[in-house]
């Protein structure tokens, strides 16, 4: 790069990071999250993995649905996960449920108990931030 730019751009080579003798990479982290290994993924990231979405007023079995902002966001396998959830500037630590569909044509669904939050605005599609802490 330096030669191509007539040495106007400086390049620096850094050592490859590894954990347990395995390269730390986005592919590895996505795979860990997909397997539900949130704690291990967070250790490699150095912070809690975070996803965003919209809280929908519809309920299933008493739980509200969170529609992920993007289908490209990696979600863990079906199960319950301890998370810090922020809605309308309110933060609560609670268990979030994920349901992964059996077919790849459907999207994963996130469920949470919105009763942990006080006085949420009565509008559809409230922004939600989910920091995944552990499985």
Q: What are phi and psi of 93, to 5 degrees?
A: -95, 120
In the chain, what are the domains?
A: 48-134 (2.40.30.30)
End-to-end Cα separation, the chain, in angstroms: 43
CB-based contact 94:87 (threshold 8 Å)? no
CB-based contact 52:68 (threshold 8 Å)? yes
Hey, is 27 helix, strand or coil?
Answer: helix
Q: Please give the model's pTM, rounded to 2 decimal places.
A: 0.81
Token pair recorded at residue 17: 């990071």
- Enumerate residues 6+ apart whose C-beta is below 8 A from 14: none
Question: Per residue in 86-120, pLDDT tens?
Answer: 999 999 999 999 999 888 777 888 999 988 898 88
Look at residue 129 in the predicted model and tell me its pLDDT: 97
């Amino acid at each position: 790069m330096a030669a191509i730019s007539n040495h106007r751009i400086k390049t620096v080579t850094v050592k490859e990071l590894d954990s347990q003798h395995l390269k730390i990479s986005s592919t590895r982290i996505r795979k860990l999250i997909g397997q539900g290994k949130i704690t291990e993924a967070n250790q490699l990231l150095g912070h809690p993995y975070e996803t965003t979405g919209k809280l929908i007023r519809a309920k299933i079995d008493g739980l509200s649905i969170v529609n992920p902002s993007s289908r490209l966001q990696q979600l863990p396998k079906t199960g319950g996960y301890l998370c810090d959830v922020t809605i309308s500037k309110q933060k609560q630590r609670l268990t979030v449920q994920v349901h992964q569909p059996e077919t790849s044509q459907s999207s994963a669904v996130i469920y949470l108990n919105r009763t942990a939050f006080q006085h949420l605005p009565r509008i559809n599609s409230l922004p939600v931030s989910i920091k995944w802490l552990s499985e």
